[in-house]
Amino acid sequence: MSQATAAPVTTGPDGMETVESFRLRARAWLAENMPRLPEATDDVAPEGDDDAAWVRARELQRTLWDGGFAGICYPKQYGGLGLSEAHQHAFTEESLPYEMPLLLNVPTLSICAPVILDMGTEEQKLEHLPKVLRGDEVLVQFLSEPSGGSDLAGLITRADRDGDVFRINGAKTWSTSAYAADFGLCLTRTDATVPKHRGLTMFLIPTKAPGITMRRITQVNGSTEFCEEFFDDLVVPASSVVGEVNGGWTVGSRQLFHERTAVGGGSPYVSGQGARSAGTAKLDLAELARETGQGDDPRVKELVGEAYAQEKVQEALIGRIVSAVEKGQFPGPSASIIRLFHAETDQQHVDYEVAIAGSAAVTGPAGQRSAGYAGQHYLMRQGASLGGGSTEMARNIISERILGMPREHAADRDVPFNEVKRGR
């Protein structure tokens, strides 16, 4: 393995390596150490539910770590490089021709690890973050429950204190890739005698501990990357609390911020071109138009152009929102704007894939980068407006917390949780 230090390092007046120097070093290192992607691949099979793909992602992350290119925006004391988003951006641009551990981007690197970084104890940061950056630990989110995910603060999974430990009982669902993970951030209720937001606690729990039964959920497109978990007296030490006991809403809110930013495409912790998840690879609309003999059709050209323009607007919007939130010019909930725009853009793209593919969307071969895939991809269409919180909730946040419109009625506001009426 050649070391990243082989190429010269140029630093700026602030003592930090310049972006250009970092880019050149990354370019040379990537060429020598990361496997090139095949020239053209027809295979768009889901990666998220393939065990070998997870082993591969961990290996690739380890290669980045050994070469000194893991955790570009993570602080140095936890194994990162302590560099800026511009450095990460340069690395991502250089990494496009190479195989990268994209499966680790969401939620491990861009949601869960940043929550530990922002809200964890020093021991938790030192214990988990270097392992994450080395590819030794995969993290997931245990938030949604069978009773519903939008009203997150209304969750019913309990954690009861028992001396030095907590006992967790309840159920979580829709946990992306939990079967491949080592630890999960699990939001629980620790006090039901106070209003819902004030009695929650976040835990970082091992996914393979006795007391957890995990099952994989088969989706309509055949993917089994989602899991559901049942907790029966799962015992966890008090040291696994992230943040304060009964302060879980603060931690959960931070997690939702990172989630909306990641899903919206603006996380500084994502390395390489985005995330890879089951059945979500996009088709190139211009190629699809040519493949189906419609390259000169004005109606089709209009669809291709419109989708391209929307993606360009999305890129610009992400840049604008992320930098404004960073500078404190926009409030944190603004991450919901890019999360909402992601769903609109993604769903428009899928709709145009089907519109251009026509009947070939259902008759063509699936799992190939061709018209037949459009029908398969369409089955995942609604995921874009649910994963990372629904678009309805994003609209609520934008209207209430950014535009200052009146808050929607909530019958449980300021009512102790155990006095709130609930359906069975």
Ligand X SMILES: Cc1cc2nc3c(=O)[nH]c(=O)nc-3n(C[C@H](O)[C@H](O)[C@H](O)COP(=O)(O)OP(=O)(O)OC[C@H]3O[C@@H](n4cnc5c(N)ncnc54)[C@H](O)[C@@H]3O)c2cc1C
Choose among 168, 164, 229: nearest CA to 201: 168
Query: For tokens 């270097």, what's the residue?
Result: 130
Least distance from C-beta 207 to ligand X, angstroms? 12
Name which of 84 and 224 has its Cβ closer to ligand X.
Answer: 224
Residue 149 lies near ligand X (rule: CB under 6 A)? yes
Least distance from C-beta 106 to ligand X, angstroms? 9
Angle separating helix axes 248-264 and 298-326, nearest 10 degrees: 140
Least distance from C-beta 95 to ligand X, angstroms? 24
Choices 71-79, 171-179, 194-202, 244-252 (CB under 6 A): range interacting with ligand X: 171-179
Grouping H, G, I as helix, E, B as strand and the rest as coil, residue 357 is helix
Choices 12-20, 46-54, 209-217, 384-392 (CB under 6 A): range interacting with ligand X: 384-392
CB 304 within 8 A of CB 287: no
Name which of 99 and 400 has its Cβ closer to ligand X.
Answer: 400
Angstrom distance (rounded) from CA 74 to CA 68: 12
Least distance from C-beta 258 to ligand X, angstroms? 12
Least distance from C-beta 140 to ligand X, angstroms? 6
CA 110 to each of CA 130, 248, 267, 274, 417: distance values in angstroms, whole numbers, following the listed order? 15, 19, 6, 10, 32
Map the footprint of ligand X across residues 85-114, applying CB under 6 A: 107
Name which of 261 and 292 has its Cβ closer to ligand X.
Answer: 261
Name which of 161 and 407 has its Cβ closer to ligand X.
Answer: 407
Residue 74 lies near ligand X (rule: CB under 6 A)? no
Residue 380, phi then psi, degrees to nearest 5 = -95, 5
Question: If DSSP states are collapsed to H, E and C, what string results for 245-294?
Answer: CCCHHHHHHHHHHHHHHHHHCCCCCCCCCCCCCCCCCCCCHHHHHHHCCC
Residue 393 lies near ligand X (rule: CB under 6 A)? yes
Residue 389 lies near ligand X (rule: CB under 6 A)? yes
C-beta neighbour count of 128 within 10 angstroms:
22
Least distance from C-beta 423 to ligand X, angstroms? 12
Choices 119-127, 128-136, 161-169, 386-394 (CB under 6 A): range interacting with ligand X: 386-394
Residue 143 lies near ligand X (rule: CB under 6 A)? yes
Grouping H, G, I as helix, E, B as strand and the rest as coil, residue 2 is coil
Residue 265 lies near ligand X (rule: CB under 6 A)? no
Residue 48 lies near ligand X (rule: CB under 6 A)? no
Angstrom distance (rounded) from CA 58 to CA 113: 15
Residue 390 lies near ligand X (rule: CB under 6 A)? yes
Positions that interact with ligand X (CB under 6 A): 107, 140-144, 148-150, 174-176, 383, 386-387, 389-390, 392-393, 396
